């Protein structure tokens, strides 16, 4: 499960609409939260900590999901860089 899916699942588990959750997080419109839940933006840690309070999530659970996602992203990015470098080596300028 991605961090964005986790966040969405926890919001729904707290019986909050995106509008309600956004207001509790200090945002006037739900667009910010929508972008987080669709994976279009990375959530700031401060927002994740506030979500823990609002959605009643233990901080350790949120931290574990955050670290898992960050690790998966780092592995993916490292593979991409490695593969891009191989392409560059095959096609020198």
Domains of the chain are: 3-90 (1.10.260.40)
Q: How far apart are CA 10 and CA 37, in angstroms?
A: 11
pLDDT, residue 76, reads 96
- Chain Cα centroid distance, residue 47: 10
Do 68 and 24 touch, CB atoms closer than 8 A? Answer: no
pTM above 0.85, yes or no: no
Q: How far apart are CA 25 and CA 1, in angstroms?
A: 23
Summarised one tens digit per residue, pLDDT across range 27-78 is 999 999 999 999 999 999 999 999 999 999 999 999 999 999 999 999 999 9
């Amino acid at each position: 499960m991605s961090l964005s899916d986790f966040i969405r699942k926890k919001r729904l588990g707290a019986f909050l609409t995106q509008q309600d959750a956004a207001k509790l997080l200090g945002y006037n419109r739900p667009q910010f939260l929508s972008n987080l839940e669709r994976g279009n933006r990375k959530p700031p840690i401060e927002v994740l900590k506030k979500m823990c309070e609002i959605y009643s999530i233990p901080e350790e659970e949120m931290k574990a999901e955050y670290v898992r996602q960050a690790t998966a992203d780092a592995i993916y990015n490292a593979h991409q860089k490695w593969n891009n470098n191989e392409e560059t080596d095959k096609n020198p300028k």
